[in-house]
Amino acid sequence: MKDCETCGNEIAATAGICRYCGSVQRATPPRRPRVKVRTVNMESGRPTVEEGLERLQREIALARQTGVRVLRVIHGWGSSGTGGRLRTACRAYLYRELKARHLKAVVPGDDYSRASPDGRDLLSRYDDLRSGERSDTQNAGITFIEL
């Protein structure tokens, strides 16, 4: 609902003419809902570490431009069983950005759950994260970034 620009009566938000006074109303553009959480699959295309870091930087910049608040970065665990190079490089870069205060928070997937303070904090602020909570909990192959 909105108020008529002429008489002040309440009319439908999509009304072009006020049903009370007959005055023409300015069209209000429909609001697009802001996406608060976006998933980025860094493993796609099997990039080198350098390509992966460049893509991560681009994705963070794009998220800022489009109003995304949290990125769920899938970097994988690595085939060696001890953590892959892409995972290690991404997290090192993200922690440097966090230290420089360019990011609000970095939560590794292995520390992400309702039981952890950081995970609980993210879940309480971003309801969109709840849809993937089961697969994301304590998943070392992902990292959450709050912008």
pLDDT in tens, 98-143: 999 999 999 998 887 777 888 888 888 887 777 766 667 768 889 9
Residues 101 and 44 reside in one and the same domain: yes
Task: Give the C-alpha separation, 57 to 49, whole Å.
Answer: 12
In whole angstroms, what separates CA 5 from the centre of its chain? 36
Q: Are residues 54 and 116 in the same domain?
A: yes
Tokens at 86, concatenated: 């892409």
| 81 and 13 in a common domain | no
* CA-closest candidate to residue 118, choices 96, 93, 92, 136: 136
pTM, full prediction: 0.70
Residues 18 and 46 in one domain: no
What is the number of domains present in the chain? 2
Domain of 2, in residue numbers: 1-30
Question: In angstroms, rounded to a whole number, what is the distance separating the alpha carbons of residues 112 and 105?
Answer: 12
* CA-based torsion, 107, 108, 109, 110: positive or negative: negative
Report pLDDT digits (tens) over 91-100: 999 999 999 9
Could you identify the residue written with the tokens 């992400």?
112
Statement to judge: residues 21 and 64 lie in one domain = no
Domain check: are 43 and 26 in the same one? no
> Tell me, what's the pLDDT at 81?
57
3-state secondary structure 45-64: CCCCHHHHHHHHHHHHHHHH
Please say if the pLDDT value at position 57 is more than 90: yes
> Looking at per-residue confidence, does 5 or 134 come out higher?
5
43: domain CATH number?
Answer: 3.30.1370.110
Q: Are residues 124 and 86 in the same domain?
A: yes
Which has more confidence, 133 or 39? 39
Residues 108 and 71 occupy one common structural domain: yes
The secondary structure of residue 132, as a DSSP letter, is: G
Based on the domain organization, do 57 and 98 belong to the same domain? yes
Structure tokens at 144: 């959450």
| Residues 46 and 97 placed together within one structural domain of the fold | yes
- CA-CA distances (angstroms) from residue 145 to 30, 61, 107, 130? 29, 12, 7, 15
